[in-house]
Chains A and B, each alone.
Chain A
Amino acid sequence: MRELRVREALREAMAEEMERDERVFLLGEEVGHYQGAYKVSEGLLERFGAKRVLDTPIAEEGFAGVAIGAAMVGLRPIVEFMTWNFSAVAFDQILSNATKLRQMSGGQFTVPIVFRGPNGGARQTAAQHSQAMEVFYASIPGLKVVAPCTPADAKGLLKSAIRDDNPVLVLEDETLYGTKGPVPDGEHLVPIGLADVKRAGEHVTVVTWGKMLPHCLEAAATLEREKISLEVVDLRSLRPLDSNTVVESVRKTGRCVVVHEHWPYGGVGAEVVDRVQRDAFDDLDAPVLRVTGRDAPMAYNRALELLTLPDAKSVVAAVRAVLAY
């Protein structure tokens, strides 16, 4: 077991997979000579050379398309978007090509591609650079979408994503890149499609992923002092979504709160609520509530930014609301 930061864990995952399979290569803006916009790919160009680590121009649609083509003819590309906001420029490549070519070609082509990068906002990155994009991607058939939060999950899920023959989107988080955590030694894979109970509890199930996980854990620590025990479920995979783990938990607690960064309309949060109310209806003591980012573009102003996304206090408020039933 070692302590690694999330960015080091991601780097290790890529390096190990590139070592293991010569078809795996990395491309994106600043991934090579600049050592990575967020230093995730630091050292990879030196180690693997310019044929395996490619610096691209600022042309997401272009390099996403190049990578999809490479995947179709047998390579296993990892495409880094400097942030997932910029994937909007390449949306058609992902939506129409990466996810659909396998089916449309009757299986003649597979697209074993990984798209990765930081998702959501960071600090004062403002309206166009603060979007939590799972709200667009998680509903697309043909894709897998994961959102790891801890270093161990980041390494394990990125490795599984690279080995997966389907297109997989890995939604990381810039504000969590520096977070340290234990990572098991040796080969460490986390299966896609499996949630993880990050904290066991009895009274309320809190379902979350990504940036909001630390706030949920903080809320749990706060409420522990009042003898209210939260069970915090980290989804880790948004598609496929492990509703079994969530429903098992709600069957135990009877109450559920879903906490996420993305906007309130629909998305992964609403999907979780649907599954809980359908599969655990007779176990609910209260309606399933959501705590979400505000229904507005992210402001540049720092004070407004802090009011836009949920924090531990918002989670505590929602927990009290479900306990009031």
Chain B
Amino acid sequence: MAKIVELPKLSPTMEEGTLVRWAKSEGESVQVDDLLAEVETDKATMEFRAFDRGTLLKQLVAEGSVAKLGQPVAIFGEPGEDISALVASAGPSAPKGAPSLAVAPADAAERSDVAHAEVRLDQPGDRDEGKARAVVVEPSPSSGSAEPSPQPRRRRDEPAANLVASTKGLAGVVLLPAHRREGASPPADGSGGAASPRVRRLARERGVDLSRVHGTGSHGRITTRDLEQVVASAPAAASVRVSGRVGDASRPEPLVRPASSMRKTIARRLTEAKREVPHFYLEADLDFDALTSLREQLNDGVEKGERVSVTDLLLRACALALRAVPASNASWVDGTIVEHRRCDISVAVAIEDGLVTPVVRDCDKKSVRAIGAELRELAERARAKKLKPEEMTDGVFSLSNLGMYGVDRFAAVINPPEGMILAVGATREVPVVRQGALAIGRRCAVTLSCDHRVVDGALGARFLQALRALVEKPVQILA
């Protein structure tokens, strides 16, 4: 008795396959476990072996075509049997009696209805399984009208919005606090102005009495915005706390203003750096005669806005020194030492009310002029507050130059998670000893702050040695 053979599920996630090659021809006899065909799935090319024995009377799917799970692909039987009826019933598009493992037709239609936001896992990927997973098959109720994509087949007459109160019909479990669950009675309105821990901290820092603040958040909560408004409208109230001279109204009042988010970030990160990072400092007086001469030569005939600066030269020099002493190009990350393989250097740029650190990427791969042009562009955008967050993070080393402000030498604070920062002072003409005689030379004091968790004294010293060698034979910086 002839029968139809359907495409079985050759792997757990298979939904269809391409019949790459028939291993048996029409009329050939087949034993149990003989290779019938090779089928290519999303994963790999699978072997389709016979479950029964018999004669392959007809191949219903041509080599190279795609067949769905459960689709008739062959007819088996005794040689010479009349299979015209079977062939007619097994049309190419009709999966006859899909096996229990296959996806029911309703699901397939469902899937095509659902609109999805485009999702990328870094790059477009194999999303078949993901798409199917996101479908909630009827008759489960949809979770409300909050998201914009139209899904007409799944909409139910559920009361709209307030997702906070109802997690009915959602996949998985959304664990909500007790008073926000369905059926809980909400706290009394204006309940003495509940405030989140963050709001309470901000109030403490600014000396604001929360009992005087009107809460506009849900159930009378005091929000950050409520706090901001109080501070903005009554700065004098805060100043009483700050001046510390209670009752002495004859002294001039200080100007008090809430810290901008940049200042808060600087305060937080640098306090953390000083607290968490074991700093030590290596100082060197570098001979800048050759560097100054090289710089003059580089800038000969160059327009004012395009001249190479000491910082530009030092950025490349530091990058090359990092390459020469790769162990010093490292960060301490939660008990692991991460040795970086790039020379992205953060440069401290002073702007109104603070400082930012734009990162010049690949200082070892760019020419000094390119570095200079890039740094000028970054600094301009920094002053206009137009830097993107990704332009200010992920450096491996920092450089800070206060020479133009007349600072002779200083020590800078490391920007975690970087391992070192170089502080550069002014180039000074000073008396020096040259071949036993007094002469005049140019010196620049630099201080290298190091994170002792990844850089020891000797390692930091080797970096400085490499840097000194480049600075004192500076044509090597250009190579």
Q: Answer whether residue B164 sits at the interface, using C-beta atoms and an 8 A cutoff.
A: yes
Q: A39-B43, A320-B163, A324-B218 are in contact. Are A182 and B123 (CB under 8 A)?
A: yes
* Interface-facing stretch out of B31-39, B195-203, B366-374: B195-203
Within 8 A of B (CB), among A274-302: 281-287, 289-295, 302
Q: Answer whether residue A218 sits at the interface, using C-beta atoms and an 8 A cutoff.
A: yes
A211 CB, nearest partner CB in chain B, Å: 9
> Using an 8 Å CB-CB cutoff, how does the interface string of A256-286 with B read, 1 for contact, 0 for none?
0000000010000000000000000111111
Cβ-closest chain A residue relative to B177: A287
Q: Compute how far the CA of A53 lies from the CA of B170 in the bound complex, rounded to whole angstroms.
A: 44
B125 proximity list for chain A (CB < 8 A): 5, 178-181
B172 touches A294 (CB 8 A): yes
A312 proximity list for chain B (CB < 8 A): 117, 134
B116 proximity list for chain A (CB < 8 A): 218
Q: Compute how far the CA of A317 lies from the CA of B174 in the bound complex, rounded to whole angstroms.
A: 8
Q: Compute how far the CA of A251 lies from the CA of B221 in the bound complex, rounded to whole angstroms.
A: 20
Q: Compute how far the CA of A282 lies from the CA of B128 in the bound complex, rounded to whole angstroms.
A: 43
Q: A242-B334, A289-B175, A311-B172 are in contact. Are A123 and B123 (CB under 8 A)?
A: no
Contact among B121, B170, B200, B224 for A213, CB-based, below 8 A: B121
B136 touches A286 (CB 8 A): no
* Interface-facing stretch out of B141-149, B310-318, B433-441, B459-467: B141-149
Q: Compute how far the CA of A226 lies from the CA of B44 in the bound complex, rounded to whole angstroms.
A: 41
Q: A191-B336, A321-B176 are in contact. Are A306 and B133 (CB under 8 A)?
A: yes
Q: Compute how far the CA of A313 lies from the CA of B127 in the bound complex, rounded to whole angstroms.
A: 17
Q: Give the size of the chain B interface in residues (CB under 8 angstroms).
A: 64
B171 touches A181 (CB 8 A): no
Q: Answer whether residue A244 sits at the interface, using C-beta atoms and an 8 A cutoff.
A: yes
A174 proximity list for chain B (CB < 8 A): 12-13
Q: Answer whether residue A254 sits at the interface, using C-beta atoms and an 8 A cutoff.
A: yes
B198 touches A285 (CB 8 A): yes
Q: Answer whether residue A162 sits at the interface, using C-beta atoms and an 8 A cutoff.
A: no
Q: Answer whether residue A68 sits at the interface, using C-beta atoms and an 8 A cutoff.
A: no
Q: Compute how far the CA of A298 lies from the CA of B149 in the bound complex, rounded to whole angstroms.
A: 29
A254 proximity list for chain B (CB < 8 A): 196, 198
Q: Answer whether residue B335 sits at the interface, using C-beta atoms and an 8 A cutoff.
A: yes
B12 touches A291 (CB 8 A): no
B404 CB, nearest partner CB in chain A, Å: 33
B444 CB, nearest partner CB in chain A, Å: 35
A316 touches B147 (CB 8 A): yes
> Using an 8 Å CB-CB cutoff, how does the interface string of A175-203 with B read, 1 for contact, 0 for none?
10111111000000001111000001000
A31 CB, nearest partner CB in chain B, Å: 15
Q: A39-B44, A175-B130 are in contact. Are A302 and B107 (CB under 8 A)?
A: yes
Contact among A191, A291, A303 for B173, CB-based, below 8 A: A291
Q: Answer whether residue B132 sits at the interface, using C-beta atoms and an 8 A cutoff.
A: yes
> Using an 8 Å CB-CB cutoff, how does the interface string of B199-211 with A read, 1 for contact, 0 for none?
1110000000000
Q: Answer whether residue A15 sits at the interface, using C-beta atoms and an 8 A cutoff.
A: no
Q: A293-B173, A308-B172, A313-B170 are in contact. Are A302 and B137 (CB under 8 A)?
A: yes
A310 touches B172 (CB 8 A): yes
> Using an 8 Å CB-CB cutoff, how does the interface string of A214-242 with B read, 1 for contact, 0 for none?
11011001100100000000000000101
Q: Answer whether residue A168 sits at the interface, using C-beta atoms and an 8 A cutoff.
A: no
B120 touches A42 (CB 8 A): no
B148 proximity list for chain A (CB < 8 A): 222, 225
B171 touches A311 (CB 8 A): yes
**Which of the listed residues B12, B122, B146, B336 has the most CB atoms from chain A within 10 Å of its own CB?**
B122
Q: Answer whether residue B135 sits at the interface, using C-beta atoms and an 8 A cutoff.
A: yes
Contact among A122, A151, A194, A308 for B333, CB-based, below 8 A: A194
B173 touches A123 (CB 8 A): no
A251 proximity list for chain B (CB < 8 A): 268
Q: A5-B126, A122-B13, A182-B122 are in contact. Are A291 and B137 (CB under 8 A)?
A: no
A309 proximity list for chain B (CB < 8 A): 133, 171-172
B224 touches A285 (CB 8 A): yes
A194 touches B121 (CB 8 A): no
Q: Answer whether residue A150 sits at the interface, using C-beta atoms and an 8 A cutoff.
A: yes
Contact among A214, A222, A291 for B172, CB-based, below 8 A: A291
Contact among B12, B164, B196 for A285, CB-based, below 8 A: B196
B197 touches A303 (CB 8 A): no
Cβ-closest chain B residue relative to A160: B336
Contact among A7, A150, A222 for B121, CB-based, below 8 A: A150
Q: Compute how far the CA of A286 lies from the CA of B179 in the bound complex, rounded to whole angstroms.
A: 13
Cβ-closest chain A residue relative to B276: A244
B174 proximity list for chain A (CB < 8 A): 289, 291, 310, 314, 317-318, 321
Cβ-closest chain B residue relative to A153: B122
Within 8 A of A (CB), among B96-144: 107, 116-130, 132-137, 140, 143
A111 CB, nearest partner CB in chain B, Å: 20
Within 8 A of A (CB), among B154-206: 163-164, 167, 170-177, 180, 196-201
Q: Compute how far the CA of A284 lies from the CA of B134 in the bound complex, rounded to whole angstroms.
A: 31
B171 touches A310 (CB 8 A): yes
Q: Answer whether residue A149 sits at the interface, using C-beta atoms and an 8 A cutoff.
A: yes
Cβ-closest chain B residue relative to A187: B341
Contact among A3, A42, A225, A306 for B137, CB-based, below 8 A: A306
A215 proximity list for chain B (CB < 8 A): 134
B475 CB, nearest partner CB in chain A, Å: 32
B126 proximity list for chain A (CB < 8 A): 5, 178-180
22 cross-chain CB contacts under 8 A: A122-B12, A178-B42, A181-B125, A191-B338, A214-B121, A218-B119, A240-B335, A242-B334, A285-B224, A289-B177, A291-B172, A302-B137, A306-B135, A309-B133, A310-B174, A311-B134, A313-B170, A313-B171, A314-B167, A321-B180, A325-B196, A325-B221
Give 17 new A-B contacts, CB below 8 A, not counting A200-B390, A317-B167.
A123-B13, A179-B127, A181-B121, A193-B333, A193-B336, A222-B117, A222-B148, A240-B334, A281-B197, A291-B173, A292-B173, A306-B137, A313-B147, A314-B143, A314-B170, A314-B171, A314-B172
* Chain B positions near chain A (C-beta within 8 angstroms): 12-13, 42-44, 107, 116-130, 132-137, 140, 143, 146-149, 163-164, 167, 170-177, 180, 196-201, 217-218, 221, 223-224, 268, 333-336, 338, 389-390
Q: Which 9 A-B pairs have the closest CB atoms?
A: A310-B172, A178-B126, A221-B117, A179-B125, A181-B122, A282-B201, A180-B125, A285-B196, A303-B137
